[in-house]
Amino acid sequence: MMPWLSAPAADHLSTVRDIPLAKLVRDDMLAMILRGELQPGQRINEPDVAARLGISRVPVREALRELESTGLVVARKHAGVFVREPDEEEVRELYEMRGLLDGYAGRRAARLETAARIALADALDASIVVMNEAFAAHDVQRYYRENLHFHWAIVEAAGNHALAATYQGIVQKLHLSRLKNLSQDTGMRASIADHTKIARALRKGDIARCEELMARHVGDAYDRLQRTRN
């Protein structure tokens, strides 16, 4: 499970110990944003959040400030705090960065020792099975979640904490730009074919091929996103 998609349920907040309340509130709101329950452009109402979680507004404000620092929400003077939607130029730049990071992650993962590399390849194959099932059922949300899991497994396997943290921030921001397009299944077949090639290259330990496929896959995904907007 990707850590930024795991958040405590509201009725569990009071039972968690040794974790600042503002962090728990932040993670709860973050999960709502990434699940699409708070849509890009939507205003986040502090009193509603506080009432839902059964807490004061102080940790809610602190949590919103933390989310603003990540670029996921924006505070507008005299208007409130809103879920942010990246503009087209920012989306392009984020995809460029993600392509570099995915390529690097693929290169590092393909260099793993044989046993670890084969275990990862097996996990990726299992992920592809789930994506194919989602495609057959026209379940875009399930496919998209599994797509995120596929890439995160490779990033985690790369064993670079700075890479993982940077990647997480980029994927979160890109997620906001895709929420409005998740009802479309455009490109799922091509994306699954890419994933299959990536998993095969990784299983073989083909470092250059794995890096190339990962980077190209992200570029192709950006091109598909652009076509859905035009």
| pLDDT higher than threshold 80 for residue 101 | yes
pLDDT tier at 123, thresholds 50, 70, 90: very high
Distance (Å, rounded) from C-alpha 154 to C-alpha 156? 5
- Token pair listed for 24: 């728990």
| pLDDT higher than threshold 70 for residue 177 | yes
Residues 6+ away with beta carbon under 8 Å from 171: 98, 148, 151
| pLDDT higher than threshold 70 for residue 142 | yes
Residue limits of CATH 1.20.120.530 in the chain: 88-229
Distance (Å, rounded) from C-alpha 128 to C-alpha 68? 34
Distance (Å, rounded) from C-alpha 196 to C-alpha 203? 11
Residue limits of CATH 1.10.10.10 in the chain: 3-83
pLDDT tier at 15, thresholds 50, 70, 90: low
**CATH superfamily, with its number, for domain 88-229:** GntR ligand-binding domain-like (1.20.120.530)
Distance (Å, rounded) from C-alpha 27 to C-alpha 168? 14
Query: Each residue of 47-90: pLDDT tens digit?
Result: 999 999 999 999 999 999 999 998 899 999 889 999 988 889 99
- The larger pLDDT score, comparing residue 34 to residue 102, is at 102
The fold of 3-83 is: Arc Repressor Mutant, subunit A (1.10.10)
Question: What is the per-residue DSSP string for 138-204?
Answer: T-HHHHHHHHHHHHHHHHHHHT-HHHHHHHHHHHHHHHHHHGGGTT--TTHHHHHHHHHHHHHHHHH
Give the pLDDT of residue 18.
58
Residues 6+ away with beta carbon under 8 Å from 116: 157
pTM: 0.81
Percent of the chain surpassing pLDDT 90: 62
